Structure 1
Amino acid sequence: MDPKPHFETLARYNSWANRRLYEVASQLSDAQFREDRGAFFRSVRGTLNHILVADRVWLERIEGAGPKPSSLDEILFDDFADLRAAREAEDERILRVLAATADERFESVLSYRSMAGTPHELPFAQVLTHVFNHQTHHRGQAHGLLSQFGLEAPSIDFVYFLLEPK
């Protein structure tokens, strides 16, 4: 399998799933958006911010530029509308980064430092796999939180993305 088209498909899926999730989340009141529901990042606000934080951390490592959050639980955007706009922009950034990535980079190793400053090296393609897997994991948590509020959380399985007419 050619890795570049594979990861570009995952990036398009990622954007599709985020749009669907945010559409339902937009139905929350501000109090519900912020309410501590006992999730790992406490609230829908905390969970959706964490996904954006992690994407920015990894994209800064991949590109060597861009916003660099200071902690994994940082609230980058307190307001839902601002967070949604930032999420859409970040999804576009992911697509642009992948489009600009040379084919040979998918076979390379990414050297980076953890947020604590520890040096690491991982295969670049595996880092990308982590980025998309991480989003899926935490989108699932946000999906569960939306269901707790009685909202009809959207179908965001990858197969539904693949089956949707393009």
Structure 2
Amino acid sequence: MDPKPHFETLARYNRWANRRLYEAAAPLTDAQFVEDRGAFFGSLCGTLNHILVADRLWLERIEGHGPKPSSLDEILHHDFAGLRTAREAEDERILSVVAATPAERFETILAYRNTAGVPHELPFAQVMTHVFNHQTHHRGQAHSLLSQFGLKTPVLDFVYFLLESR
């Protein structure tokens, strides 16, 4: 089985889920957006920035170039509008990277260094799975933060994306 179509679907799902999440977060005030709510990355701002940071780190490892944040908790954008614009651009970048990846690469090993400089090697397809799973994990945290503010939270389940995409 060629894994590439599966990852292309995950990239489209990823964009869909992020758009829904950001749309739900749009009514927050600036103060609410940065308020520390005790989440792993503190606030919704910290959580959403972490997702962007991790995507940039992984895409830099995959492509060999691009932005390379210095730490996993770096705040790339303090404002919601700037972060939302950056998220949209990164989702398009992910779609492009997956589309440009030859099917054979999914069967290779990716050698990289983590943020501490420690070398690692992992199967490329598993790294790509991690990229999407990581976003899903932290989107769940962001979803919970939105519900704490009393906002209507969107359905983000993959199956709903599939049903809408038919």
TM over 0.5: yes
In structure 2, the residue matched to 1:3 is: 3
1:159 is the counterpart of 2:159: yes
In structure 2, the residue matched to 1:107 is: 107
Give the distance between the partners of 1:102 and 1:66, measured in 2 at CA.
19
Give the distance between the partners of 2:113 and 2:24, measured in 1 at CA.
36
| Percent sequence identity over aligned pairs | 80
SS at match of 1:8: helix
In structure 2, the residue matched to 1:72 is: 72
Q: Write out per-residue CA displacement over residues 127-151 of structure 1, whole angstroms, 9 at most, x where no aligned residue.
A: 0000000000000000000000000
Give the distance between the partners of 1:3 and 1:89, measured in 2 at CA.
24
Give the distance between the partners of 1:99 and 1:133, measured in 2 at CA.
19
In structure 2, the residue matched to 1:58 is: 58
Q: Write out per-residue CA displacement over residues 143-166 of structure 1, whole angstroms, 9 at most, x where no aligned residue.
A: 000000000110000000000045
TM value normalised by structure 2: 0.99
Superposition RMSD in Å: 0.7
| 1:165/1:4 CA distance change after superposition, 3 Å | closer
Give the distance between the partners of 1:165 and 1:65, measured in 2 at CA.
32
In structure 2, the residue matched to 1:41 is: 41
1:15 is displaced (CA, Å) by: 0.1
Specify the code of the residue in structure 2 equivalent to 1:147: S
1:119 is the counterpart of 2:119: yes
1:81 is the counterpart of 2:81: yes
SS at match of 1:112: strand
Give the distance between the partners of 2:128 and 2:49, measured in 1 at CA.
19
Superposition map of 1:6-45 within 5 A: 6-45=6-45
SS at match of 1:110: strand
Specify the code of the residue in structure 2 equivalent to 1:105: R
1:57 is displaced (CA, Å) by: 0.3
Specify the code of the residue in structure 1 equivalent to 2:159: V
Give the distance between the partners of 1:121 and 1:18, measured in 2 at CA.
29
Specify the code of the residue in structure 1 equivalent to 2:55: D
1:2 is displaced (CA, Å) by: 1.9
Ranges of 4+ aligned residues in structure 1 off by more than 2 Å: none
Specify the code of the residue in structure 2 equivalent to 1:152: K
Count how many residue pairs are aligned between Structure 1 and Structure 2. 166
Gaps of 5+ in 2: none
Give the distance between the partners of 1:76 and 1:165, measured in 2 at CA.
32
Gaps of 5+ in 1: none
